[in-house]
Copies of this chain bind each other. A is one copy, B any other.
Amino acid sequence: MLQTTDDQAMPLTKLHIPDTLDSRATQGLCTAVHRALVSTCGVPESDRFQLVTRYSPGSMLIDPHFPDVNRSDRTVIVEILFLTGRTDQQKRSLYQRIAEGAASCDFRADDLIVTLVENTRLDWSMGGGRAFADVGLH
């Protein structure tokens, strides 16, 4: 049984993508986001939970420039829900690493919007009807 004594685990990532993105780019982006979480935020390699939702152009209204970037029609919004406790520096590194990883599947850094929401260990059940906070304790 995995010991989970730290607060590194549990991201749920939602990727909101334009429906014109092909499957290869989508998969590459999913992998880039997961690898960035693993390398900057201590997320276990096997702790991968990602939901991909596709939008038609009229259903994804995105300002092309705010606050100081140049977005294309390939812009993606990545929402990550994870445990509170990441430092400001970890978050900065996460954004940078996602952009670097996504570049390898031809995403421009300006086409990546990322936002984080935090909760606590008692706010997750990963299965078995048990709180994640209690995993490893019995």
Contact = CB atoms under 8 A, between A and B. Distances in A.
Of the four ranges (under 10, 10 to 19, 20 to 34, 35 or more), the interface on chain A belongs to 35 or more
A105 interface: no
Given A59-B52, A112-B125, A119 B118 contact: yes
A100 interface: yes
Contacts of A52: 55, 58-61
B115 A127 contact: no
Nearest to A119: B117
A132 B51 contact: no
Contacts of A113: 49, 124-127
A88 interface: yes
A38 interface: no
A113 B12 CA distance: 10
A130 interface: yes
9 smallest A-B Cβ distances: which pairs?
Answer: A99-B129, A69-B127, A95-B125, A116-B123, A52-B59, A50-B61, A110-B127, A114-B125, A96-B129
